[in-house]
Structure 1
Amino acid sequence: MIDSVYNYPLYRPPSEAYSLIIQITLGCSHNKCTFCNMYKGKQFTIKPFDQIKSEIDFFRKQINFIDKIFLADGDALIMKTEDLVKILKYINLKFPEVKRISLYASPRSILLKTEEELKQIRELGVSLVYIGLESGDNETLKEIKKGATVEEITEASLKMKKMGFQLSITVIAGILGNKDSTNHAVNTGKVISKIIPEYLGILCLVVHPETDIDIRCKKGEFIEASGDQIMEEIKMIIENINIPENEKIIFRSNHASNYLNLRGNLPEDKEELLEEINYALSNDYIRKRNEKYLKYGRNGF
């Protein structure tokens, strides 16, 4: 069975639901973010090429056709370029029909690559890169132990765009709890306006067990933001995204963690998105949903 090949837990972006996942690394090279427990139980490991090769062979025997492949785990780009190139060449050999290869990438792993290295990776089929911005505010990034500054994330993102990669960027609403999030929201909108990624997703903070935020919650040092606070924060982020009319960001805020499902294109649908938020806030929708969350848990919706 295919599942026997994987080292769990296994994560992939929602848009990779129908992709073949190939684990070329295990865990996350940073693994210190205060909000994340995805890879807490894994030591970061770059898998040997022979093992990856045999797993690719296994997948090829099991799967007749696949057009999208996602390279896991948390930061596949961090491996040496020569090793990643060998893997990509073998994937192209065994899956000639594949149209898109994607992966998560950290700012550090991007900045460590030369433009020539990135060009080679792009030419071998990697076309979409997922980057967790989380916040466009340096104080917020420091508090959540992101391990990168706004300037580094912006530089890395623009570098990838220059080399022809599409970017899918995520940010997190409610990351500061019920503290004043004005700087986080305003600066996040401004940074997105500089990067102009092809895709933008806004998630809402979910306090996962055994994270630093969970420990602080139990000590009473961190109080989660209310649904209304989170929606006001998302509204402020969108208000501060200002890009030329000839540009386009595909925007989604419809993850299971979100209080209100939002989707559209920026800047085209900006005013409509803001109107949706205002309508939900004025009609008490968010408060009622928040009460359900407190009773059943956000993932129970």
Structure 2
Amino acid sequence: MPDAVAQVASFAVDIVDFEAARAGLHAVREQVFIVEQGVPADIERDALDPLCRHVLARDAEGRPIGAGRLTPDHRIGRMAVLAQWRSRGVGEAMLQALVEEACRLGWHEVSLHAQVSALAFYSRHGFIPYGPRFSEAGIDHQSMRRRLDAATPVEGREAAQAALQGVIAGARRQLLIYSRELDPGLLDQSDAVSALRRFATGGGEVRVLLQDPATPQRALAPLLGLGQRLTTAFAFRAIEEPVDRDYPSAYAVNDRGGWYFRALGHRFEGECRMDDPARARQLHAIFDPVWERARPCSEYRALGI
């Protein structure tokens, strides 16, 4: 019998035996990859299938609606959800099931080849891009990875943007940001601003500590405009104490154990993890006393912040 690992609303997600579930797995993958995306059948079907751990999502009547797998080389692949079931949490549940299975197997890391159109989806779940983009079956892809027992390295702007997306998406009620000058190339990107808007309008609180509040004001940073419209959700404070201003790092940390830390705040390179409450508590402990000593950004009052 398959071992159930998730139950959400009107569908269930299970880790399944390949031979027993072959028909359902292939039915979903054929519809998504071969029919919709035009992937050749001889590429979609491969010799790895019998060697993989598979996940199958079924609707309330037991009909297959989603599929995915873990390969022997610790890669998540063949993630597919039928069109009528997308944006209903099926992909998230399957991905979580595969990550949990990888943890159960004692793996240290999982990777995947994400279609470029799905980068934001995987970023929200702690996967970080690395290396150049490439074409696979005629579709643009990006390698991504997530460490399961340690922080995932963040290298470069695209990886930094993915790490920030993961931290924001994982926040429940509060998000803390320690920044030099609202991080051009990171906090001013449309994806980040949109994610922060969704979090704030959903009842979240965002606290931002700045070492240099004047620079983002001169640059008309988009986050300041967002704070103007959502004054109860955003609070900005300026760091003035010399001992605090000497702090070289930057970070974002949420209230569910997710964080992205950069030892040098003017660079994108760092590390992140979405399930590390101990380190998140340490960053909260660094942030909170500085917040208390910092002054409200009165120069933003003209903006209504």
Same fold (TM over 0.5): no
Point out the structure with max Rg over C-alpha: 2
Flag the structure with higher helix content: 1
Flag the structure with higher strand content: 2
- Structure 2 length-normalised TM: 0.31
